[in-house]
Structure 1
Amino acid sequence: MNLIFRRKNEPTRRQFLVKTGCSAMGITSVVNTLAHLKLMQGALNAQSGGGGGYKALVCVFLNGGNDSNNMLIPFSGSARTDYVNGRGMLAIPTNDANAALNALPLAATNVAECDPLGGYLGTFGVHPKLGAIKTMFDEGDAAFVANVGTMTMPGVTRANYSTAPKPPQLYSHSDQQVQWQSSIPDRPFTSGWGGRIADFLDPVHNPSTGNVSMNISISGVNSFQVSPTGSVTPYIMGSNGLVSFAGYGTNYASAVNNPNVLFEATNYKTAEAGRRLQAFESILNMTHANLMENAYSNVAISARMTEGMVGSALLPTTITGGSSLDTYFNNAFAGTGISANNTFTNQMKLVARLIAGQSALGNGRQIFFVQHGGYDTHIAQIPAGSNTAGHTGLMSTLNCTLKGFADALKGPEVGNQWDNVLSFTASDFTRTFTANKPDTSAGSDHAWGGHALVLGGAVKGGRVYGKFPVLKLGAVADSIDATGTRGLWIPSTSVDQYAANIAKWFGVDPSALGTIFPNLSRFVTLPNITSGNLDFLQA
């Protein structure tokens, strides 16, 4: 019998890899650190296993700056009084004679935990068009994370606002979108936190080189999914499905008999388009002496291979005239006056279909990115008599789409993946608490910290996490109004804290969170990322 003894203080192989890796990374930039992490992670995951089963993240980016002051609303208490006084023309009522205009009360169970003062909050409500979100919240499938925003350092107050470290270009759409999606506002952009998570988890959960990318965008190129090493390149799709090579008909109908069969001579049609595609793909399959030519060919071949896999994934839910999941979304929109055939809803339909067919994609982890646009509501935020325009229409579309998505994930076609999929919202910033006009044409302007929504079977729902802002304007006691008297709330929770909890649920080891989120240790003592009432996900 062979016995191997290890001295008491001798490090394990895992500890050795971590220590030697981290010491080397200490002298490099963040980009090289993350690249090094990628190389090291495969060895670590091979030992730890990294957790099994399928999981997916869906980043729902509310483009333009969602006025979340009217998404999560004080329903009673002193906060309600400040809400009504500060919001002016934008205030959502609770006792209007027209019940359809009233905020919907939430059965929140932890008001005291998120109360910023103690006794300030009474009860919460949501926008009157968020009926399905209210139901999911009350049933424990959804939660809110209050007053989240981009931050470089904690401790920003109204008193030190002019000198405290803050994100650059704080009220700029383009800058704040990038900073939200990168989580590193005080350094030049190099990668998104979705891309860094993918780099970390891809080796163990998607080990086959033939898999579709772990990151799939249904809304074009974005900062969120940019990989620091370039090893996980997002696959870009449109809301209507696959983006194919042009000139061969819709889904190659003019060129091949079966679009899911690739590079087979008998599959090409004899018409001109079929012969042209066959010749093009034959050239792609050649080996070229020039490295640039080879690289181009490999990109094109990869695109075609991915198309085939994605087409196979969509096939189980494809029916004549649409998808077998469309009914869930159509039912969610019934009676609203808004069509379920809109760009945002079609993006979410496609995500649901890809999750339903995930076995064809071969991935144990997937990250999806979608966008809902139109949130730059400087004017006509609450148009009188309209359920389909302004912020009112946006809330209705968001509500119905997320209900349709939830119902689809719980259905038999998707295999009841509700517990394995986490959807979460993000936005440029919230908007000023005060209205910018005293009449019904009023809107709101660019601000800072806002509320985020998380939903899925893993959410510890029915709760509001973090700290709700004190809705007091200007320099009065307890105000967190950054500057002036418009209501630009200083965030109480950083994007890093919000994102790190999501990453941890997704399978990132707590010991690695500080590398994926380099600024996280400024806000919490690692790996205790749940401090301050932020433990919003099941283990």
Structure 2
Amino acid sequence: MDCTASALTDSDTALIRSALAEEAGWLRDINVGCSSVPENSIVEVDGKFFQNVHPQEHNVYDFSDWVSNHPGGPDKILQWTARGFILKYPASHPMRRWSSDIAKENIWSNFVGRFGDSMSFLSLPQTLQTFPLATAFGALESFDGFAEVCGSPGEVANDLQSGHQYSFHVSEDHLDTAFDVDYDTPAEVPDLGRASIWTMLAFEAPDQLRQRMAWALAQIFVVAPDDATARQTEMYVHFYDIFVRHAFGSFGDILREVTYSPVMGDYLTYKRNRAFDSDGAYPDENYAREIMQLFTIGLWRLNPDGSRMLDSEGSPIPTYSNEDIMNIARVFTGFDEQGARGNIEHVEGKVNSIDPMRLRAEWRDVYPKPDLLGGYLGDGYPLCMDQPAQGFLRQGAKYHFVGHAHDGNEVLVLTADSALYKALCGAGQVCSHQLMVELSETLTCTGAECQSTTARVVQVGDGYYEHLYEACVGLFFSEGEEVLLYPDGTIASNLTTKSRQNRFVARWVPTIPDLSSCPAGCTAGSEVCACAASLAVQDGMHVVTAGGFTFQNPPVFMDREHPRKRDAAFEVEALLHHLVHYPNVPIFVSYRIIQRFVTSNPTPEYVLAVSNAFQTGEYNGYTYSGKYGDLAATIAAVLLFSEARSQTSTSNGALREPYLKIIHFMRSMEYQEEKDRPIVLGNLINTIGQYPYASPTVFNFYMPEFRPDGFPEGLVAPEFQIYTAPNALAFANGMHSLINQGLSNCDDGFGVYVGDCSAGTTTFAEKSDMSEALAELDLLLTGGRLEANKGNVQAAFKRDGWKDAQKVMILTPEFNTLGSPLPEGVRPPSPPPTFGATSSYKAVVMLMLKGGMDSFQMLVPLNCPLYDEYRGVRKSIAFLPEEMHQISSAAQSCSEFGIHPKLPVLKELYDEGSVAFITDVGSLVEPLTPDMIGKGFHAKGGSGETCQGLFSHNDQQRAAETLTCQYATAEFKGAGGRIADAVAAGSEKFNTMSFSLKGSATWPQGFDIPGEVLGQNSGGGNSAFPEYTRLQDIVNNITGTRHGNVYCEEYAKRLEQAISFNIGLEKQLENAELATDYEVKGYQPLRSQFKNAATLIAARVERQAERDFFFIEDGGWDHHKGVENALAGKFESLSEALAEFVAELKAQNVYDSVVIATHSDFARTLTPNSNAGTDHGWAGIQVVLSGAIKGGEIYNAFPHLAEDSPMDAGRGRLIPRYPLENMMVPLAEWMGMEPAQRSQVFPNLANFNSTHLLEKQTLFRP
């Protein structure tokens, strides 16, 4: 080998030599920022030569998971390895395959060590701890003793006589086999097992309030099965049991168990999350964001009565910034699942989805973490250096037996004459180990103990004990250590190459200094100063003075040289304690529990009373635990406060949850399953909008702040978010099927297929006397609140007896809501819509890619400096040019671009001239640059006004749908709805309709034009209501009654509108025919929505439509983990759906009359995270498709992608140069918006000039 040093720049050579000198051994891992170091470059250090090789060269991995999850199946690999062949990485394969998310998840995460390293057998991955390997390496020892084995909480032996058997999966030869598939029912649907368990507990459990509280808590701490775990039962039931166990316990205990749950670790993608030092990627931010926004403190600081706290300018005060999210993400590094054990359900691709996750110290971030209130995690903890020496020998010291082997290296070996040895071993000749030992007295040291100030693990004969030392912290900076000072006030240690890359916020004393120039005595670098640290104690605070400036010496739990799992656990606990005790938490939790039990809009007095109970553990003179976070006291206050006992105002109450209404009816009417089998309801999430273990997102079934369109100002009604027209009629149909024939799937029933249309029926004794029947139904189904509708139920009873009375009862506002109905007579009927003569037809289809689409993987600049920036910032997820569909652009500085390989339809239509890409757009109030925005990018944080709740899914989805992101509500309605209002009211008076094809949505909702909601059945989206014809007069009486209670009134109006709209739509679609063989099989929501839009377009003449607005939504774009594979799957489905829809539009000869445009919450960070995913970004790229546009072009200058580029707000979160109005204004003008209407349709338009907007004639053909 040629050992001649390569010709590098002096600065690069110096950086590399310095970094290499800090390490030892023949294989040295360093990470330095050089200008140009080619592969295989050689550098000489002290006579030794080191060659630059791939960062993972000489790494050893366990490939077991890769074999199990190989895309071609395990047999493709095992057929060769079983015969002794050695597999080599083919030279023809690009290195990006090694960097793909499949490899990162299944190979990288199973890193064993570096070639030549020595390690403990117990530190090997679980799959390598086999008997043959243990025998080969002498790792087996015989001993007489015990090992600690932990089962699941509350685990009991199986009792075959008790029934209630459910689907359970076991592993056998890499196969996933389901046992008890029919679990005592004829349904044989294994993915319904967990929900059936929930239903049976709701029917039979003796602790109904506990079960009900658990249901409420599960709607705060939300998880849901993914495709890979759709049929699993135990892992999700075990997770849900956290809420059952702690329903009346401590909120902090729930947060802790949720955080350590492998189910949550998978769902919010922080399992196997790693520190930047571990692999050069930023930690995944997913859980850090949601634990704050959704589980504990919310987005805004709150006053004690639940109102938002305002700053001096009247703006809400945020609870955290994006910088805080990045800091807290570093706390959630190092989590990994436990090893496999017996008696748990097998989950393919996972080892253990039951037991709490373990912490892997080698993956942990070891740097200081600022908290949310101006301090650091660790403030207030004792310093480790102040702890009494040899605390491990003191009275009260606790020891935990960890087994007969140990995988660590900090072991103190005790001698047999040691007092500590005897205390842990016992009096016998052979040690009698105990699981836990607490020293009853202070012991005298012996031998090596006397030279040790601390002891982490001690060896006692053939056993090992961990000293359960108390939490303490160290100080990050030491005397004389060089501190790096940055102009933005952040600091870092100059100790190692790794520490230099980990900047964090300094707490300056008294305030942040001017660091624009380097202080005297410091060494100036590129935008940084290196200054020696001088330590002192000032007013009780440990401080550092560097360059004449002073800041707090941050506390740290983790030792940089010797990171330990116990210290990592202390740091996690410090964060959880900080979050649980944040001032918002009692109010946040109280408000949500009140909403689930009593009323959607509790008064400030009610919130304050419940919050006080949460904090004190007491209510109304009774002490529960007397501790902070007491949920028993909380629920007592929720149910016993005067407002809960007497709901008489117009805003008291709520719309009831649909699944609970079904359970309520079945329990009250004494439903009985045939043969005493468990009750199985089908998955109703797409029928009524709710089902156990089936929340569509981490945001639950509905948002706590959801406000129906037209609802009184200042009031919310969360459950109405899923009470759409299709869901309302589906609920009525399912309940009528249940009443008619029992539980089944016949006649749109809620059950599953059972062959004879009845798995069971209600057994409550029918009443022949009308007054007795009415009294029973009123008491059992409305709690005696039936008022204006008594006559309607009586009329139904007279018509066809008991069953009709039940059918009418379940349609009444009294059954469907809480609160006093307050009837006020008859509501005047709404006038039917009138349409003029029709002329030309145009439509816009808004495709919302919900979750935050990574659009910088959709369109990539190629073969130019921008591509170099792309490769540099996207790292392992970057595409090679030859992997993409290549296109050209005449308007960009880079003439060649690539479209994602799974989007062939965009390539075809771009070349055809009917697709355009709109780059560098996002939600804006006004033009911004990084120096105009404040910390966290919140409104008025700097000199520029920004969107409310930036980087929050629900806020930025609302921002994209409204184009008024400075407001936290949709008070200006949706952008599509406002355009619809304008074209309907303009000089042409176009006949205009607006539709949402995926549930409640803001975008299609106007002030005058309503956003009609259609179902996802692929026949036009209309929903039938068969019983309406027979019960029409009674139903009309129910829906025609006006109520003073806002929930009753909204319910009645919505049911009336659902019935009338769907009757009209059914007639309009009778003769609608599609022009292609447009077939959608099974549950494919995106394709169904497009097909329904195509059907409505085909019926445009029958509907007398001139302008249509369609809102289509596709979820699942939030790829914090494995973005490469996940995005490929989403793009493939999207491409197929678009291809079908465009083909149908062309066949109908309307492709020139319809525009399809995309929106998303935001784009993603350009830098990937440690899970090979990307986190929440800002500016992105959108797509417009139509035969009417000047396609085949990329509009707006493509942005620079390098980290720290001019518009980078950190981690590659690009600030958009152009607002979404850039593309929406010309689209609105094409639809018929007139110049005088521009400011009304687009309220922020005055903040931008003509350079920020595309002209209509630029985007559209004449």
Conservation of the 8 A alpha-carbon contact between 1:312 and 1:357? no
Q: Percent identity?
A: 29
Alpha-carbon deviation of 1:157? 2.2
Alpha-carbon deviation of 1:298? 6.6
Conservation of the 8 A alpha-carbon contact between 1:425 and 1:452? yes
Change in 2 beyond 3 A, CA 1:200/1:312: same
Q: Tell me what 1:425 maps to.
A: 1158
Paired residue type of 1:351: A
Change in 2 beyond 3 A, CA 1:206/1:402: farther
Change in 2 beyond 3 A, CA 1:290/1:65: closer
Paired residue type of 1:530: L
Q: Tell me what 1:479 maps to.
A: 1206
Change in 2 beyond 3 A, CA 1:529/1:512: farther
Conservation of the 8 A alpha-carbon contact between 2:1086 and 2:1113? yes
Indicate whether 1:193 and 2:982 are aligned.
no
Equivalent in 1037, 1045, 1054 of residue 283 of structure 1: 1037
Alpha-carbon deviation of 1:145? 0.3
Q: Deviations over 1:372-395 (max 9, x none)?
A: 110000001113xxxxxx110111
Correspondence 1:267-416 to 2 at 5 A: 268=1029, 275=1030, 277-281=1031-1035, 283=1037, 300-317=1055-1072, 324=1074, 327-328=1077-1078, 341-383=1083-1125, 390-411=1126-1147, 415-416=1148-1149
Change in 2 beyond 3 A, CA 1:340/1:497: farther
Q: Tell me what 1:126 maps to.
A: 899
Q: Tell me what 1:168 maps to.
A: 948
Q: Tell me what 1:18 maps to.
A: none
Equivalent in 58, 70, 75 of residue 857 of structure 2: 70
Q: Tell me what 2:997 maps to.
A: 218
Q: Tell me what 2:962 maps to.
A: 182
Conservation of the 8 A alpha-carbon contact between 1:329 and 1:340? no
Equivalent in 900, 905, 917 of residue 144 of structure 1: 917
Alpha-carbon deviation of 1:342? 1.0
Conservation of the 8 A alpha-carbon contact between 2:1123 and 2:1172? yes
Conservation of the 8 A alpha-carbon contact between 2:1117 and 2:1127? yes
Q: Tell me what 2:1016 maps to.
A: 239
Aligned equivalents of 1:64 and 1:104: distance in 2? 25
Q: Deviations over 1:81-128 (max 9, x none)?
A: 111111112112223xxxxxx1110133322xxx3xxxxx24111000
Which stretch has the larger CA shift, 231-240 or 462-471? 231-240
Equivalent in 134, 158, 162 of residue 930 of structure 2: 158
Conservation of the 8 A alpha-carbon contact between 1:421 and 1:456? yes
Paired residue type of 2:885: L
Paired residue type of 2:1208: D
Aligned equivalents of 1:448 and 1:171: distance in 2? 7
Conservation of the 8 A alpha-carbon contact between 2:1162 and 2:1177? yes
Change in 2 beyond 3 A, CA 1:82/1:534: farther
Alpha-carbon deviation of 1:327? 2.8
Q: Tell me what 2:624 maps to.
A: none
Aligned equivalents of 1:382 and 1:529: distance in 2? 32
Aligned equivalents of 1:297 and 1:177: distance in 2? 29
Alpha-carbon deviation of 1:510? 2.3
Alpha-carbon deviation of 1:187? 3.0
Aligned equivalents of 1:301 and 1:376: distance in 2? 37
Correspondence 1:48-67 to 2 at 5 A: 52-67=839-854
TM-score (norm 2): 0.31
- The SS at the match of 2:1212 is coil
Alpha-carbon deviation of 1:369? 0.4
Change in 2 beyond 3 A, CA 1:295/1:177: closer
Superposition RMSD on alpha carbons, in Å?
A: 3.2
Aligned equivalents of 2:1258 and 2:1000: distance in 1? 31
Equivalent in 1220, 1243, 1261 of residue 495 of structure 1: 1220
Q: Tell me what 1:44 maps to.
A: none
Change in 2 beyond 3 A, CA 1:353/1:409: same
Q: Deviations over 1:381-410 (max 9, x none)?
A: 113xxxxxx110111111111111000011
Change in 2 beyond 3 A, CA 1:329/1:449: farther
Alpha-carbon deviation of 1:416? 1.1
Aligned equivalents of 2:1005 and 2:1244: distance in 1? 18
Paired residue type of 1:487: G
- The SS at the match of 1:135 is helix
Instruction: Give aligned pairs, total.
Output: 415
Q: Tell me what 1:92 maps to.
A: 879
Which stretch has the larger CA shift, 343-352 or 488-497? 488-497
- The SS at the match of 1:151 is coil
Alpha-carbon deviation of 1:538? 2.8
Conservation of the 8 A alpha-carbon contact between 1:317 and 1:325? no
Aligned equivalents of 1:206 and 1:285: distance in 2? 35
- The SS at the match of 1:453 is strand
Aligned equivalents of 2:1001 and 2:1140: distance in 1? 25
Change in 2 beyond 3 A, CA 1:511/1:380: same
Which stretch has the larger CA shift, 506-515 or 301-310? 301-310
Aligned equivalents of 2:1213 and 2:1079: distance in 1? 36
Q: Deviations over 1:14-51 (max 9, x none)?
A: xxxxxxxxxxxxxxxxx9xxxxxxxxxxxxxxxxx9x9
Equivalent in 888, 912, 929 of residue 107 of structure 1: 888
- The SS at the match of 2:902 is coil
Alpha-carbon deviation of 1:317? 4.4
Segments of 5+ residues of structure 1 without an aligned counterpart are 1-30, 32-48, 96-101, 116-120, 245-249, 257-267, 269-274, 319-323, 331-338, 384-389
Correspondence 1:424-463 to 2 at 5 A: 424-437=1157-1170, 441-463=1171-1193
Change in 2 beyond 3 A, CA 1:168/1:282: closer
Change in 2 beyond 3 A, CA 1:471/1:317: same
Q: Deviations over 1:236-266 (max 9, x none)?
A: 112115777xxxxx7345x48xxxxxxxxxx
Conservation of the 8 A alpha-carbon contact between 2:1162 and 2:1179? yes
Paired residue type of 2:1182: A
Aligned equivalents of 2:932 and 2:1090: distance in 1? 42
Segments of 5+ residues of structure 2 without an aligned counterpart are 1-708, 710-835, 935-941
Aligned equivalents of 1:207 and 1:406: distance in 2? 28
Paired residue type of 1:535: T
Alpha-carbon deviation of 1:295? 9.0
Aligned equivalents of 1:295 and 1:161: distance in 2? 41
Alpha-carbon deviation of 1:158? 2.9
Q: Deviations over 1:435-488 (max 9, x none)?
A: 102xxx5110000000000001111100001121111111xxx532123xx211
Aligned equivalents of 2:996 and 2:1043: distance in 1? 31
Q: Tell me what 1:522 maps to.
A: 1247
Alpha-carbon deviation of 1:294? 9.9
Change in 2 beyond 3 A, CA 1:457/1:282: same
- The SS at the match of 1:327 is coil
Aligned equivalents of 2:1258 and 2:1188: distance in 1? 11
Alpha-carbon deviation of 1:289? 8.6
TM-score (norm 1): 0.70
